[in-house]
Structure 1
Amino acid sequence: MKTLTLLRHAKAGWGERGSPDFDRPLNEKGRRAARAMGRAMRDAALGFDLVVASPAARVTETLEGAGEGYGTAFDPVWDRRAYLAAPEVLLEIVQATDDAVDTLLIVGHNPGLELLTLHLTSEEDGGELRAAVLEKYPTGTLAEIHLPVDRWRDAAEGKGTLRRFLRPRDLDAALGPDGD
């Protein structure tokens, strides 16, 4: 059994006019959400053998904030391929993971994370959680997928079961949508 957790970066600001998308920082709400998600991961006793992350500023800041909430810093492998990655690229990252890793966390961007979640899980096993993903995969949200495989390369369409879909607003209504 392998466990894949996908964390979307928290809410970002737009940065300075003309600055590249890659350099967009978190806004204050995003920083609060990242810390809250870290606390939730700690409280749920989620642990990760490997963390792979996009090197974009909003992802690095999300991991810093989540680490503060978790109580220990995450030590990710920065992978440029994860920046704004299509679900096919994210699946390649998953399938190339060393089989000694049982719990993998990928931190990145939408729509890739949402589409990968939907690709790996089936409608029959998803229930309300999968319906929530179909509705929206907001910033700062975490999806946990259990894969009944021994080798990451066997992760494939519909094989996984969505076990957790946690949005910042589930932890604190003030972290929900407000039109910003």
Structure 2
Amino acid sequence: MHRLFLLRHAKSGWAAPGMTDFERPLTASGISDAEALGRHMRDSGLLPDLVLCSTARRARETLDRVLSVFGEMTPRIIHDEELYNSDAARYVEIIREAPENAALLVVGHNPVMEDLAFALPRGGNADAMRLASSGFPTCGLAVLGFENPLSELQPGTGSLEAFLRPERV
């Protein structure tokens, strides 16, 4: 089984005067949510082998906070600027091009994360499907499983195993 984790960046503040959208930092609640999610991932064994992360500040800070509670387990990290402003089709291409790994975490942005969370699975855990149907919140995590390698990723071929919302971890 090949796993794909889709993580929307945690809550960020609005851009201050002179600051670009790309530079927006996490809020205190965003930091707290990311650390809580990281603990839940660690304790549940939801650990990636490889991370593809947007280069936007809020995505990098989210990843840093999630990984800060993993302990010695350190996945390989690739920062990809295309994850900041691409559509779902390009995200799929980027995932397919990733080095072969059993578990891949993608840290990115909406609406793409939500689009992928609905397009990639053909079904899945009923509770996860219900939670996902109410939207993809900041610091939300979709856990998808695929029988085929992620290099063969296609819409409608996976299963939504879990959907984690910050208020529920």
Residue 168 (structure 1) aligns with: 166
Distance in 2 separating the partners of 1:133 and 1:85: 22
Distance in 1 separating the partners of 2:51 and 2:42: 15
Whose strand proportion is higher, 1 or 2?
Answer: 2
Structure 2: state its 5+ residue gaps: none
Residue 150 (structure 2) aligns with: 152
**Aligned residue pair count:** 168
Report the CA distance between 1:8 and its aligned residue. 0.8
Superposed CA deviations along residues 79-138 of structure 1, whole A, max 9, x for unmatched, are 011113311111111111233x1110100111101101111012x435332232221100
Distance in 2 separating the partners of 1:44 and 1:18: 41
Question: What percentage of aligned pairs have identical amino acids?
Answer: 36
Structure 1's consecutive aligned runs of 4 or more residues displaced over 6 angstroms after TM superposition are none
Residue 175 (structure 1) aligns with: none
Report whether the alignment pairs 1:136 with 2:146: no
Residue 80 (structure 1) aligns with: 81
Distance in 2 separating the partners of 1:113 and 1:163: 16
Contact (CA 8 Å) 2:51, 2:105: kept in 1 or not?
A: yes
Structure 1: state its 5+ residue gaps: 172-180
Contact (CA 8 Å) 1:33, 1:168: kept in 2 or not?
A: yes
Distance in 1 separating the partners of 2:126 and 2:39: 26
Distance in 1 separating the partners of 2:106 and 2:44: 17
TM-score by length of 1: 0.87
Q: Say which SS state the counterpart of residue 26 (structure 2) adopts.
A: coil
Contact (CA 8 Å) 2:49, 2:76: kept in 1 or not?
A: no
Distance in 2 separating the partners of 1:77 and 1:92: 15
Residue 126 (structure 2) aligns with: 127
Distance in 2 separating the partners of 1:41 and 1:84: 26
Contact (CA 8 Å) 2:50, 2:75: kept in 1 or not?
A: no
TM-score by length of 2: 0.92
